[in-house]
């Protein structure tokens, strides 16, 4: 028992990493931890109760909303509002940013951006899904409602980011800019236990993760890169292995542990790709850089992009440093669509 370090204990221990730590960020992470447990409980029951399937509506981007998407959104929002450390949230499931109106919330200094249930189309088939979160210090004055500028900050301004993977076991992985730490949920104790301290992604990898069904619509550089991955060059450990779950958190998590590259490029039909800059790409970019990897839109560092809208999409290449550099070099070498 004495070896177990819980997420709560670890966060308190690490508070001293912040020169003027007031405990507010720790308390905020505590809210996320609580909502994660509630959502985890519900996801584990998904096959048992009539909770899966589309709720009937569509979100702002015209995608089907699943019941658990809505459930997760509500639980994370409620948990974040309850502890008074957050003045507003933006979510994949909300058209606009949501300001919390209580006076204590208006006095809070953080905003949270989240994808409450990423990969939710996978729930019905018992495949891992996840929650992704990103935390910023507000730039508008404390005491007022949050403004658009609070939510449209570049990724390098994040103070913390992380994800929860609801998988064969449930894990919470986060960074506050001092490395990446992973905690595995022990359902019998009801606590997240430190299992992966200071996670590092290998500089080289041999897993590539992409929806190859879209091949015909990819930029030429991506097509050439895929062929490069498939070439028979034993001295370079090629051909690589292709692994694609279709659940960003799960694909990212595997590649973080083993080394690899996740790609969601622009396509002929979706010139900006599919993934959302603010609550999918930026948090993953912060995590991967903290773990020693890279995240790029094909040319630029993801965390340097200046967001212009809440649900903005961006091509996304994330993973082992040498693999990201390689795909960037192919995009530079073959700039045109075929
Ligand atoms: P979602 O937020 O609507 O669930 O979409 C994001 C998901 C990612 O988890 C996953 O990597 C990607 O979409 C899969 O897209 P595709 O089905 O086009 O391969
Ligand atoms: Mg998503």
* Tens place of pLDDT per residue across the chain (338 aa): 568 999 999 988 887 766 666 788 899 999 999 999 999 998 888 766 565 555 566 667 776 656 889 999 999 999 999 988 999 999 999 999 999 988 889 899 999 999 999 998 888 888 999 999 999 999 999 999 999 999 999 999 999 999 999 988 999 999 999 999 999 999 999 999 999 999 999 999 999 999 999 999 999 999 999 999 999 999 999 999 999 999 999 999 999 999 999 999 999 899 999 999 999 999 999 999 999 999 999 999 999 999 999 999 999 999 999 999 999 999 999 986 54
Closest residue CA from atom 16 of ligand 1? 246
Which pairing describes strands 170-175 and 180-186: parallel, antiparallel, or unpaired? antiparallel
- For residues 39 and 164, what is the distance between their CA atoms, to the nearest angstrom? 10
Q: Do you know the residue count of the chain?
A: 338
pTM: 0.94
8 Å CB contact between 316 and 273: yes
- For residues 111 and 175, what is the distance between their CA atoms, to the nearest angstrom? 16
Is 119 assigned a ligand-binding role in the annotation? yes
- For residues 323 and 100, what is the distance between their CA atoms, to the nearest angstrom? 41
What is the topology classification, in CATH, of domain 7-196?
Fructose-1,6-Bisphosphatase; Chain A, domain 1 (3.30.540)
What phi and psi values does residue 309 have, to the nearest 5 degrees? Answer: -150, 160
Question: What are the residue boundaries of the structural domains of the chain, listed by start?
Answer: 7-196, 207-333
- For residues 333 and 162, what is the distance between their CA atoms, to the nearest angstrom? 34
Q: How would CATH label the architecture of 207-333?
A: 3-Layer(aba) Sandwich (3.40)
How far does residue 244's CA lie from ligand 1's centre (Å)?
A: 11
Residues within a 6 A CB radius of ligand 1? 63, 92, 115, 118-120, 211, 246-248, 251, 274
Count of alpha carbons within 13 angstroms of residue 154, beta-carbon side: 8
Is 136 assigned a ligand-binding role in the annotation? no
């Amino acid at each position: 028992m004495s070896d177990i370090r819980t997420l709560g204990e670890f966060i308190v221990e690490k508070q001293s990493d912040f020169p003027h730590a007031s405990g507010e960020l720790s308390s905020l992470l505590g809210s996320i931890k609580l909502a994660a447990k509630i959502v985890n409980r519900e996801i584990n029951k998904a096959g048992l109760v009539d909770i899966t399937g589309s709720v009937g509506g569509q979100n702002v981007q015209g995608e089907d909303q699943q019941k658990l998407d809505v459930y997760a959104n509500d639980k994370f929002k409620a948990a974040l509002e309850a502890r008074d450390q957050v003045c507003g949230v933006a979510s994949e499931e909300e058209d606009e940013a949501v300001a919390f109106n209580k006076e204590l919330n208006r006095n809070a200094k953080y905003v949270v951006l989240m994808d409450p249930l990423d990969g939710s189309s996978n729930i019905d088939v018992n495949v891992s899904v996840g929650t992704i979160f990103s935390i910023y210090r507000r730039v508008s004055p404390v005491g007022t409602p949050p403004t658009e500028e609070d939510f449209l900050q570049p990724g390098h301004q994040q103070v913390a980011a992380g994800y929860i993977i609801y998988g064969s076991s449930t894990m919470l992985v986060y960074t506050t800019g001092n490395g990446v730490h992973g905690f595995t949920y022990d359902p019998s104790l009801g606590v997240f236990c430190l299992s992966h301290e200071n996670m590092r992604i290998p500089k080289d990898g041999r897993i590539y993760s992409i929806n190859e069904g879209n091949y015909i619509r990819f930029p030429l550089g991506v097509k050439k890169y895929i062929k490069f991955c498939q070439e028979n060059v034993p001295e370079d450990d090629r051909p690589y292995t292709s692994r694609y779950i279709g659940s960003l958190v799960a694909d990212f998590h595997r590649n973080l542990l083993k080394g690899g590259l996740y790609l969601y490029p622009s396509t002929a039909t979706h010139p900006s790709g599919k993934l959302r800059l603010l609550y999918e790409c930026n948090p993953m970019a912060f995590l991967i850089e903290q773990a020693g990897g890279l995240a790029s839109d094909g040319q630029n560092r993801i965390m340097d992009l200046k967001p212009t809208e809440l649900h903005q999409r961006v091509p996304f290449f994330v993973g082992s440093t040498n693999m990201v550099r390689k795909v960037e070099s192919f995009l530079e070498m073959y700039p045109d669509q075929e």
